Chain A
Amino acid sequence: MRKQFITCYVLAVTLGAVSLLVAQGPAPGQAAPKGKGKGGPATPAGPTPRLPDGTVDLNGLWMGGGSNSSDITKGLKPGSEVVMLPGGEALMKTRRSQDDPEANCLPTGVPRGAPYPWRMVQYPTHRAATHIFILFEGNIHSFRQIFMNGKHPEDPDPTWYGHSTGNWDGDTLVVDTVGYNDKFWFDYLGHPHTEKLHTIERYTRTDLGNMTIDVTIDDPGAYTKPFTTTGRARLQPANYELLEYICQENNIDLVHVNAPAQLP
């Protein structure tokens, strides 16, 4: 089965079909999961787990995200559309691939995801969580913190991940974030935003192995109206762990890049 998987993988590379759903195998010491699926390891199956206080248990190592990281205009919720203001459109046209913050080992911001896993951590777990953390393997080792039932500061410093508060809407975690800087790009194409950006993410663990993530993006500084993206994350097998990924270590490739912002 392993051999068959590798053969399929080589074919996929040859045909240019490698995508963010690229097949993953286990790290050393991590046994290969049984029933490996077409696009990666088998997604664990079972009902949506819950914590002792009754809230949905979102803890785990996940892969995927709430938007199309190549082009945010793909994968929108039905009825949603991305309409840029002239200033945003003009800025996007000036963007160069080598200037992409992600390519320069800076954070992806929200909702863009890196093609690496991330771990969600609810704290504490024996009673209602006060904090939820998202630990990123890449693009750099960074984290988001979500203050449950918290309040935004009146004048937050603009940051890469902003200031996030969380609440439960039934079984859906709703994360409200303001206070972003305007430095990160929404995708490889360089869709921009301003410090007026306000995001509302909705995380719904539909069963043990799957989570849907909808993200409403409201930025009156760059877009004529809010739009909502939708995506999915898959739980990684229990024997998978975050691995080290220090992007700044040897980022030598950008000297060969001199091109308009474009798809990966």
Chain B
Amino acid sequence: MKLKLSMIAVTAGLLMMGLPIAAHHSFAAEYDSSKKLELKGVVTKFEWTNPHAHFYMDVTDANGKVANWNLELASPNMMQRNGWTRHSLKEGDHVEVVAAPAKDNTTTASATTILKSDGTKLTFMAAPPPDVK
């Protein structure tokens, strides 16, 4: 499967994405909300851990180079209250992600939305119940 990476910068004024406040550290200090990152790839690991959950995904660029991205989510306690479970993502899932990149230019980002290949749409902290996609 041909996977691609695209990164689209948008002006800060448009605020296409916001960064979450419900966190124990400043997301604004870590991520650049003025940039919108679109990633398409395969989940390699899902960490259902405190203080924040993370998932990792392999993304292949147009030249065939694979990068492993670290996507930060909210805290499992609050995600759980909003529909996420430790089974919401798993290794091997094909996903399309919209995220805000880290300011340190590493392959790290704050995930805003995650679209799974079965049509399920997850967000930073909310997941639909099983009967809603």
Option from B18, B113, B132 in Cβ contact (under 8 Å) with A3: B132
Closest residue of A by beta carbon distance from B72: A253
Q: Which of A241-264 contact B (CB under 8 A)?
A: 243-254, 256-264
Residues of chain B lying within 8 A (CB to CB) of residue A102? 24-25
Option from B19, B54, B81 in Cβ contact (under 8 Å) with A24: B81
Q: Is B116 an interface residue (CB 8 A)?
A: no
Residues of chain B lying within 8 A (CB to CB) of residue A257? 25-26, 29-30
Residues of chain B lying within 8 A (CB to CB) of residue A262? 26, 28-29
Q: Mark A211-242, 1 if CB is under 8 A from B, else 0.
A: 00000000000000000000000000000100
CB of A24 within 8 A of CB of B82, answer yes
Q: Is A115 an interface residue (CB 8 A)?
A: yes
Q: Which of B5-62 contact A (CB under 8 A)?
A: 15-30, 33, 47, 49-52, 54
Query: In the complex, how many angstroms separate the beta carbon of A145 from the nearest chain B beta carbon?
Result: 23
CA of A3 to CA of B23 in the docked complex: distance in angstroms?
A: 25
Residues of chain B lying within 8 A (CB to CB) of residue A250? 47, 49-52, 54
Number of interface residues of B (CB under 8 A): 48
Q: Which of A5-13, A125-133, A159-167, A173-181 contacts B (4 or more CB under 8 A)?
A: A5-13
Q: Which of B60-88 contact A (CB under 8 A)?
A: 72, 75-78, 80-83, 85
CB of A25 within 8 A of CB of B81, answer yes
Q: Is A2 an interface residue (CB 8 A)?
A: yes
Known contacts being A28-B85, A105-B51, A246-B50, is A115 close to B126, with CB within 8 Å? no
The winner among A102, A137, A252, A264 for most chain B CB atoms within 10 A is A264
CA of A111 to CA of B31 in the docked complex: distance in angstroms?
A: 27
Q: Is A18 an interface residue (CB 8 A)?
A: yes
CB of B112 within 8 A of CB of A13, answer yes
Residues of chain B lying within 8 A (CB to CB) of residue A138? 24, 51, 75, 77
CA of A143 to CA of B123 in the docked complex: distance in angstroms?
A: 31
Contact surface of A with B, Cβ cutoff 8 Å: 2-3, 6, 9-10, 13-20, 22-28, 70, 97-98, 100, 102-103, 105, 114-116, 137-139, 188, 240, 243-254, 256-264
Contact surface of B with A, Cβ cutoff 8 Å: 15-30, 33, 47, 49-52, 54, 72, 75-78, 80-83, 85, 102-104, 106, 108, 112-113, 121, 123-126, 128-129, 132
